[in-house]
Amino acid sequence: MKPIQSVMITGANAGLGREAARQLAMRNGIEKIYLACRNQEKADAAKAALEAETGKRIFEVIPMDVSSPMSVRAAVGKMAAPVDALILNAGGTGGKTPHALTQVGVTHIFAANVLGHVVLVDELLERQLITSTVLYAGSEAARGIPKMGVAKPDMRTSSTEEFVSIADGSKFGPKADPLDIYGTIKLTAAMWMGAMARQHPHIRFVTMSPGGTTGTNGMDDLPFLKKVFFKYVGGTLMPLFGMMHSVETGAKRYVEGLLNDRFESGHFYASREGSPTGPVVDQAKIDASLANTQFQDNAFQAVRRFAA
């Protein structure tokens, strides 16, 4: 594996992205960290705080809204030097209008979690601006977490058309719960990553779930009662039952997935079966369909329809 000296992190101004930036800055050999964020003011504040906390002046803000392919392409167009590694961390539950369609025909929740990252990787590869590793923030929701009431995604055929229906929201309808959609979207991305690993063998493509993590901002746009439960009540109680862990622990998964070559390209790593915390394992050992290359290629073909 090529030594990693520079890293770009999407959604890096808060939560897991910011903590991953802090942890990477403390690793020997990391010389540059790009904070790709949609809000300039929050990004600048995060940069200043990270410099104060780490004593390093290696952070640079890149304005980028991953829910907008135009914003992503504009940001990459301004890059003067390649980056060794990329952490695709930005996402969430799609804002106030998760089911609304963007100009390219995907839902807001799909755009934020998947499409913008697909465009980002494509642009970096086309311009030869990525040299080593792409890490996508997966989720145990992609194979279900029964203990937390998160059902396994209802995939009937895993055809290209079914993955298209996930992207444009027609699989779910306009009143579906964003939390129910989230796992299916994360599954789509994990399958896309598997296809990318086979198509670009010179780059590592690792899907790594940060696990059930307290204090993240991904739930901020949920309905009030659900937000209160997942961010505050659940964030206090669930760690006591081993159902959540700290942001530091979640971000450490990113860092290890990025820097430790025992995590193989094309594989999806997350917690053991039935849990959102604890040691990570290859998820194909839990659900063999995750390693199905035809399903992976179908997901790839589906997202290509919107990323062109």
Model pLDDT, residue 49: 98
Model pLDDT, residue 1: 77
Model pLDDT, residue 217: 53
Model pLDDT, residue 4: 97
- Whether residue 52 is predicted with pLDDT greater than 90 in this model: the reply is yes
25, 33 Cβ separation under 8 angstroms: yes
117-175 pLDDT, tens digit per residue, is 999 999 999 999 999 999 999 999 999 887 777 889 999 999 999 999 999 999 998 78
Q: CA 249, CA 212: separation in Å to the nearest integer?
A: 10
Mean pLDDT score of the chain: 91
Model pLDDT, residue 176: 85
Give me the domains of the chain, ranges plus CATH numbers: 6-307 (3.40.50.720)
- Whether residue 228 is predicted with pLDDT greater than 50 in this model: the reply is no
Q: What dihedral do alpha carbons 168, 172, 173, 176 form, nearest 10°?
A: -120
Instruction: Please state the rounded mean pLDDT for residues 33-42.
Output: 97
285-296 pLDDT, tens digit per residue, is 999 999 999 999
Instruction: Quote the strand ranges of 146-243, DSSP E.
Output: 204-208
Core vs surface per residue 54-64: b (16+ CB within 10 A) or e: bebebbebbeb
Nearest 5°: CA angle at 76, between 70 and 82?
165
Model pLDDT, residue 177: 81
> What is the band of 63 on the pLDDT scale with cuts at 50, 70, 90?
very high
Q: Which residues pair with 210 in a beta bridge?
A: none
- Whether residue 306 is predicted with pLDDT greater than 50 in this model: the reply is yes
> In what order do the strands lie in the sheet containing 204-208?
59-63, 32-37, 6-10, 83-88, 130-137, 204-208, 268-271, 280-282
- Whether residue 37 is predicted with pLDDT greater than 50 in this model: the reply is yes
Q: CA 71, CA 168: separation in Å to the nearest integer?
A: 20
CB atoms within 10 A of CB 233: 11
- Whether residue 54 is predicted with pLDDT greater than 80 in this model: the reply is yes
Higher pLDDT, 217 or 248: 248
Per DSSP, the chain holds a count of helices (H) and strands (E) of: 11, 8
Between the alpha carbon of residue 246 and those of residues 146, 159, 191, 211, 240, the distances in Å are: 21, 37, 27, 9, 12
Side chain identity at residue 282, one-letter code: D
Higher pLDDT, 199 or 177: 199
Model pLDDT, residue 229: 47
254-279 pLDDT, tens digit per residue, is 999 999 999 999 999 999 998 889 99
Say which range, 37-41, 73-77, 123-127, 242-246, has the weakest mean pLDDT: 242-246
Which residues, 6 or more positions from 298, have their beta carbon under 8 angstroms from its beta carbon?
A: 158, 159, 160, 162, 163, 191
280, 153 Cβ separation under 8 angstroms: no
Q: CA 151, CA 136: separation in Å to the nearest integer?
A: 22
Instruction: Please state the rounded mean pLDDT for residues 80-105.
Output: 92
Q: What's the maximum distance between 2 C-alpha atoms anywhere in the chain?
A: 51
> What is the band of 44 on the pLDDT scale with cuts at 50, 70, 90?
very high
Q: CA 11, CA 21: separation in Å to the nearest integer?
A: 10
**Residue 89, burial from CB neighbour count under 10 angstroms (0-12, 13-18, 19+):** buried
